[in-house]
């Protein structure tokens, strides 16, 4: 039986967080990663350009045998997840902003996301759905994803002075790039930070239906990188996560919002 991959797509390095979480929990599943670092970041681009770039990337991913794919980018999920699901023959999971578990804490929840994500109809509906549970402070740090992309692997170089002042009950990271700063943001604002990484990883495994289709021997499985920045992404992945899991913190699994 032909080996099928679980694919991960992001505008750059942010999706490596999701890839690492998935591989840590499901090490027997073959994976591939496509990072469009050349065009990163996506967050300040027009919706039309974001969708065009995403479809071009998925077209290349689809040339491989794929069991399921993750849009490991909140911006692309918010702009064209539905269109990608309709256009390709394999299941596609979107990256869910972890608004639901953060809102359960009540109080004032800070939501950090790119402009394209924050302005999307999907995000606005999600925030409205939980507006009775908490109030939301919305902030779009325009250059942050790009700064993280350039700073890697030394994320301590990223300046956090942009963070809004105030007391927050929780923070929602609406961009997978921001997850590299999760611990620092939590320490700076003295509150828990939610990213949705583990919930998305579990949902991706469920829709891939791996157990019935591709049983694997226990141990390390295949991992390939695609795209013009494949060597950089591969190097970063192994330096940041292999045998370290530095940025992956245990979190209770949360129910995936079906709109994402």
Catalytic choice (31, 73, 80, 140): 73
Cα angle, residue 234 at apex, residues 233 and 237 outer, rounded to 5°:
85
Catalytic residue status for 140: no
Determine which one of 31, 79, 140, 175 is catalytic. Answer: 175
SS3 track for the chain: CCCCEEEEEECCCCCHHHHHHHHHHCCCCCEEEEECHHHCCCCCCCHHHHHHHHHHHHHHHCCCCEEEEEECCHHHHHHHHHHHHHHCCCCEECCCCCHHHHHCCCCEEEEEECHHHHHCHHHHHHHHHCCCCCEEEEECCCCHHHHHHHHCCCHHHCCCCCCCCCCCCEEEEECHHHHHHHHHHHHHHCCCEECCHHHHHHHHHHHHCHHHHCCCCCCCCCEEEECCCHHHHHHHHHHHCCCCCCCCCCCCCCCCCCCC
**Is 51 a known active-site residue?**
no
Active site residues: 73, 175
């Amino acid at each position: 039986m032909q080996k099928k991959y679980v694919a991960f797509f992001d505008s750059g390095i942010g999706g490596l967080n999701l890839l690492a979480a998935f591989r840590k929990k499901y090490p027997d599943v073959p994976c591939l990663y496509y990072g469009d670092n050349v065009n990163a970041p996506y967050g300040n681009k027009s919706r039309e350009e974001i969708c065009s770039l995403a479809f071009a990337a998925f077209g290349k991913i689809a040339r491989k045998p794929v069991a399921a794919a993750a849009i490991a980018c909140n911006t692309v999920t918010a702009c064209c997840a539905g269109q990608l699901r309709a256009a390709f023959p394999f299941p596609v999971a979107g990256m869910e902003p972890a608004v639901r578990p953060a809102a359960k804490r009540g109080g004032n929840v800070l939501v950090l996301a790119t402009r394209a994500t924050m302005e999307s109809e999907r995000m606005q509906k999600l925030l409205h759905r939980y507006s009775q549970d908490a109030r939301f402070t919305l902030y779009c740090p325009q250059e942050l994803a790009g700064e993280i992309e350039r700073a890697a692997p030394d994320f301590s170089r990223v300046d956090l002075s942009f963070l809004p002042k105030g007391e927050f009950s929780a923070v929602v990271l609406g961009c997978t790039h921001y997850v590299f700063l999760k611990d620092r943001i939590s320490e700076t604002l003295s509150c828990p930070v939610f990213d949705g990484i583990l919930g998305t990883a579990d949902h991706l495994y469920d829709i891939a239906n791996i157990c019935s289709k591709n049983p694997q021997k226990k141990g390390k499985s295949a991992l390939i990188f695609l795209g013009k920045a494949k060597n950089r992404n591969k190097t970063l992945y192994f330096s940041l996560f292999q045998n370290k899991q530095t940025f992956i913190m245990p979190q209770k699994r949360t129910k995936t919002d079906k709109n994402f």
